[in-house]
A and B are shown apart, each in its own frame.
Chain A
Amino acid sequence: MKKRKKLPYQVKRKINGLIFVAPFLIGFIAFFLIPIINTVYYSFNKVGVGDTGGMTFSWNGIQNYVDLFKTEVTTTSTTMARLFTEQNRDMLISVPLIVIFSLFMALLANQKFKGRALVRLVFFLPIILGIEVVTSMLTMTTGTESLDTGSQLVSGSYITIFLVRVLDVPMRVLYPIITYIENIFTLISQAGVQTLVYLTALQSISPSMYEVAKMEGATAYETFWKVTIPSIMHITLFVIVYTIVQLFIASPVAEEVYAFAFKQNKIGISSALSVVYIFNVLLVLGLVMLLLRKVVKKNEK
């Protein structure tokens, strides 16, 4: 009988490492790779229900994609092209707003003042209140509009009236700004985790950096731009990517995927929409990462 050779330590370690990631790898193949391949496959087929109850496929080429953008409409009867443009346009505005806002809140929560613990308690409430069920349920469906989450507080306020009547600011300019201020709760409710991450980043900046800056005679403004911002730049990439992912998850496209598949029974169309959606997400994230890598690198030097 041959004596079994003992495996060297490093090889054993590697095998153990593979055992540790094995569940994820199985999951990746079963719940990610196969579904993706299936989705792409469905999107090129006409999917129907067979006589025996199974699914039938007949090759359809890119007809599903053509139909998706030419003939199909969403549940709110807008075209798909419009749905995607609106989705991406909203993203372009919301992402910087959410990121800057969360940084702002983190900066405020990082100050030293009495009752800081209480303020932090409130500031991180959006982690809970931002859950999709809660935000969708907290809105009123009936009654006067002023009961809606904080809206109409601004448009009816004296400041707005002053701006319009006395300074003659055109409503065209004012309106988008007012809409955003009135939707501030929506903004905050999406900034919970980001604020948390930024706050921890701010707290991990070594106090000696600030001391040096003070010794060198830097003003608070200079300290912010030369010390604080470069120190949190690397985490900003994470925050931005997280925000984009979060916004895509909550996007109305997802509902359309569901509506096509389960309400209208158009599995081919629904899959085609999913594929377009995946490309959209990857494109946006790729662009953002490409742009940001340069900024982050420049700041780290």
Chain B
Amino acid sequence: MKNDDRDASLALYLFKKRSKKTVLKIITTVLILGLCFTIILPILNLVPVVFSSIEELGNPNVIWLPLEKSLVSFKAAIRFILPNGFATMAKSVLYASGIMLVQIFFSAMVGYALARVNFWGRNVVFFMVILVFLLPRQSLLLSQYIYFNHFDVLGIMDLFTKAGEVNLINNPVVLVILAVFGFGVNQALFIFLFSQFFKNIPKELEEAALIDGCGFYKTYFRIMIPNAVPIISTVAILSFVWNYGDTYYTNYFSPNGGFLSTLLSTTFSSANKDYVMNAVRTWYDVPLVPDMAFDAVKQAGVLVYLIPLLIVYLVGQRKLVENLENSGLVG
């Protein structure tokens, strides 16, 4: 009798526990699915628009899938934003990768010195890095623009004289110069990440290298850099994504550079709507172009633009969490 009682209460306890677990599981699953849905929804919303034929756009009966499938929007988008075919995309990818390498090289150096070398005024430099990170870059846009417009290596004094100055606007060199001197896209953040990482590398590693006869540079390039692979790959992914997606530096300092992000944002600015619609009308012989055609072509352009990013993301995403964990930022 007593035993039965105990069995019953045990069963009840187990049932309660199990049902609680199930309910919790259902709630988390719903939340996760909901969030995933919200993130993907804007992309899903594009499907009926970009894959639809131009005439069918705006059909109120269409919700998820287009009635008449066609790739005209994509063709038009590629014609707009890839004027030289895939060379345009390759150029942007190469540009982003190049700047990425420059950023990694120079940020890692600054980060290492800040973390491991007790040079004079280290705290001041660290404060400068934080300050650069905190101030929005746009607040300095104007004077930086004027600065590059009248670029003068010799000095500040003849900054505004006519002779001996170079107009560097529209010269892609500007973007490289900025990255070399630590002022590329979000570079202060990268310097900060590197310094946090190098802080956590054990001191013994450096000491052992010193005893074995490694100089400062050899220690850095042969011991430190190979050990910094996690943070380098994290910064590489972020840097590539941000440089490829950058419209700020490219728009202001190199507006005719033909970068994909610039092309995308200028071609499909709302002021350009009539031009885009007229082009679609004449190129594809569509007599009646609905207003939404502009959006369809624009969104198709965004999708084309996203291809390299998605590839990098799919390859690098898995490592991202793992690497950042070893990066010392959270330790």
Contacts and interface: CB of A to CB of B under 8 A. Distances in A.
A129 B329 contact: no
Contact of B182 (A18, A27, A42, A144): A27
Contact of A245 (B109, B136, B141, B178): B136
A200 B35 contact: no
Contact of A31 (B181, B247, B305): B181
Given A108-B32, A128-B309, A142-B295, A185 B135 contact: no
B38 A184 contact: yes
A176 interface: no
A38 B32 contact: no
B73 interface: no
A23 interface: yes
A201 to B, nearest CB: 4
B239 interface: no
A18 B265 contact: no
A245 B134 contact: yes
B324 interface: yes
Please classify how large the interface on chain B is, using the bins under 10, 10 to 19, 20 to 34, 35 or more: 35 or more
Interface string B4-47: 00000000000000000000010011011001101111110110
Contact of A28 (B106, B132, B295, B317): B132
Nearest to A20: B113
A152 to B, nearest CB: 12
Interface stretch (B64-72, B83-91, B114-122, B279-287): B114-122
A275 B135 CA distance: 11
B119 A137 contact: no
Contacts of A199: 321
B330 interface: yes
Contacts of A285: 134
Nearest to A54: B160
Given A39-B143, A108-B28, A249-B136, A127 B39 contact: no
A201 B330 contact: yes
Interface string A5-49: 000000011111110110111111011101110110010000000
Interface of B: 25, 28-29, 31-32, 35-36, 38-43, 45-46, 49, 58, 60, 106, 109-110, 112-114, 116-120, 122, 125, 128-129, 132-147, 156, 160-162, 178, 180-183, 189, 191, 216-217, 238, 241-242, 245, 247, 252, 261, 264-265, 268, 270, 273, 291-292, 294-295, 298-299, 301-302, 305-306, 309-310, 313-314, 317-318, 320-321, 324-325, 327, 329-331
A235 interface: yes
Contacts of A36: 140, 143
A123 interface: yes
Interface string A97-114: 000000001001001010
A57 B283 CA distance: 51
Contact of B268 (A25, A30, A137): A137
A143 B291 contact: yes
Interface of A: 12-18, 20-21, 23-28, 30-32, 34-36, 38-39, 42, 52-55, 105, 108, 111, 113, 117, 119-129, 131-134, 136-138, 140-144, 147, 149-150, 184-185, 188, 193, 196-197, 199-201, 203-204, 235, 238, 241-242, 245, 248-249, 251, 253-254, 257-258, 261, 267, 270-271, 274-275, 277-278, 281-282, 285
Contacts of B295: 140-143
Contact of B119 (A17, A52, A105): A17
Contact of B128 (A28, A39, A133, A258): A28
Given A39-B143, A138-B302, A248 B136 contact: yes
Contacts, number: 269
Given A125-B39, A188-B39, A235-B329, A27 B265 contact: no
Contact of B241 (A28, A131, A248, A267): A131
Given A24-B106, A257-B142, 10 more contacts: A21-B113, A21-B119, A24-B129, A25-B128, A30-B147, A35-B144, A125-B39, A141-B273, A149-B42, A196-B320
26 contacts: A16-B117, A18-B119, A24-B106, A24-B125, A24-B182, A25-B125, A28-B182, A31-B140, A34-B147, A108-B31, A113-B25, A113-B28, A120-B317, A134-B305, A134-B306, A136-B265, A149-B42, A150-B45, A188-B35, A200-B325, A204-B331, A254-B136, A254-B138, A257-B138, A281-B134, A285-B134
Nearest to A274: B139
A15 B49 CA distance: 60
Contact of A13 (B109, B180, B216, B327): B216
Contact of B39 (A39, A185, A248, A254): A185
Contact of B330 (A108, A235, A254, A275): A235
Q: Pick the most buried of A32, A55, A204, A277: most chain B CB atoms within 10 A of its CB.
A: A32
Given A20-B113, A119-B32, A137-B265, A129 B294 contact: no
B181 to A, nearest CB: 3
